[in-house]
Chain A
Amino acid sequence: MLHVNSISKTYHSKPALSDISLYVHAGESIGIIGESGSGKSTLGKIILGLEKPDQGDVHFRGSNLHTLKGQALKAFRRHLQIVFQDPAGSLNPKLPVWKSVVEPLENYPDVIPSFLKEVRHDRKKMAEVLFQKVGLSPELLERYPHQLSGGQKQRIAVARGISLEPDLLVCDEPTSSLDVSVQAQVLNLLKKLQRDLNLSFLFISHDIAAVQFMCERIVVLKDGILVDAFLTNELFSASRHPYTKMLVEMSMEQDR
């Protein structure tokens, strides 16, 4: 479904990504692990078409994402959505949250997600259904972001992410700004939505346990270079790259 072909990107003459290739099949979840500054988020932005790579290309369902323009790009965007790391920053502080949630649906009047068939004509009702889907009470619809907890805000961001029933949801560290107790809830929610909606995930994180829980395959980035790629159940195999082993050990130590 998604093919990333030898992408490179340079910021201020420093390489952020060099020669990255990966693929995602429909319904599959890929984890991208790396420390901060490893280029994970840049990769996510390039895959969403928010930034252009210096070299290489991203093919989504056979079309080169970065040569698309205008309406054609918009038509593709609907299949690729995102949940950002910081829910406080990803919701407009001056809008009641339900308006943020239904904004994508306003932009694609022709798209009728399977779970919104009956209410597609009514923006408020669509927001209500989406709130239910992410386990939030409809009482919160009219709230502003600053009146909600981090976990609630992140659920709202997830609701917006799935509102168009996309094929691929890029999750850029969706839990790292949340309390530990809330992290598990959000991960469970994502897992459930993935099953319900047959979503693919591109799960960007430095939290190995979360990635292990969410994804079938994992790639490891270090300083913009893809150092390791493997199936999740091979995470502890002896043939892992030394850097992967180190990350695993570090995360084990933290847990202890």
Chain B
Amino acid sequence: MNVQVPRINRIPFFFKNQNLMTSCGLLFFIIITFITIIGPFIIPNEPFTANMAERLAPPSSAYPLGTDHMGRCIFSRLIVGAQSTLGITALVVVTVALIGIPIGLVIGYIGGRMDTLFMRIADGILALPEFILAIAIAGFLGPSLTNLMISIVFVKWIAYTRVVRSIVITERNKDYVLAAKVGGSSNWKIIRRHMFPQIVSPVLVLATLDIGKVILTISSLSYLGLGAQPPAPEWGAMLNDGRPYFQSAPELMIYPGLAIFFVVLAFNLMGEGLRDKWDVKSR
């Protein structure tokens, strides 16, 4: 019997071409980084001062995206907000990696009681939903950007520790580690010289894919009022500010929402691309 195979040609070229998608992610990432760095020097208006006479103004040459409920330039606030959102994200991801990677390397390599102890702690933390736990900790510590970061780091380090630990456990019994031991290398040297290079690419992939999630978490917590405090222009906080005007002036929420959406998308595209490139199995 002749079976008609349905042709799957409906997917646009862009979405089939992984390289192109990765490149787009990378390009977008470069643009965002550039804007974030030079942002404060190019903004058309002062982002903090309220100007009630101009509140909720439509887009104009003076205010490219209009003004918000306090008469502040939305465009300027978005660009300055990129600094807090992305800066905090970078700081969180770096801190998490700096905590999670060494713990994973050491407990994976040494094993035994240390390993059991840390993994039980991790199980305990993982037993609660990540986001709820972050809310609880941030709420407990009090609303501020520092506490927000602490709470996210607290729930995130485990993922890194687990990935690193699992790689180290599969690698540590291979012959090249035994050969290094016979050659007189100390445990510390084996971890540094032989274990560390094995984890670099998987951790980079994990971190890139994680950035999107961290941005969302920061924005969500800020939206709930647990992160950046007014008048600081953080994207999540801006969403929250615009919430009461959702019906009359939806652009107050649409612009920061789109900013979050595109940045997260860029990082996810990049992360997926790296994962394919380095052939890291999804864990």
Contact = CB atoms under 8 A, between A and B. Distances in A.
Interface of A: 45, 48, 50, 74, 77-78, 80-82, 84-86, 89-92, 94-95, 100, 103-104, 107-108, 157, 160, 163-164
Contact of B175 (A80, A81, A86): A86
Contacts of B122: none
16 contacts: A50-B181, A50-B182, A74-B184, A80-B182, A81-B182, A82-B178, A85-B175, A90-B176, A91-B179, A92-B180, A100-B176, A103-B183, A103-B185, A107-B185, A164-B183, A164-B184
Contacts of A100: 176, 179
A84 B183 contact: no
Contacts, number: 62
A86 B179 CA distance: 12
A92 B182 contact: no
A89 B174 CA distance: 6
A103 B179 CA distance: 10
Contacts of A94: 197-198
B194 interface: yes
A91 B183 contact: no
Interface string B192-211: 01100110000000000000
A135 to B, nearest CB: 20
B183 A104 contact: yes
B179 A82 contact: yes
Interface of B: 174-176, 178-186, 189, 193-194, 197-198
A101 to B, nearest CB: 10
Given A84-B175, A91-B179, A107-B185, 12 more contacts: A50-B181, A50-B182, A77-B184, A89-B175, A90-B175, A94-B198, A95-B194, A104-B183, A104-B184, A107-B183, A157-B179, A163-B183
A104 B59 CA distance: 69
A92 B176 contact: yes
B176 A89 contact: yes
A45 B179 CA distance: 11
The list of the 6 closest CB pairs from A to B, nearest first, reads A104-B183, A107-B184, A94-B197, A90-B175, A89-B175, A84-B175
A78 B175 CA distance: 18
A91 B176 contact: yes
B179 A90 contact: yes
Contact of B189 (A50, A85, A95, A107): A107
Given A86-B175, A107-B189, A92 B194 contact: yes
B194 A84 contact: no
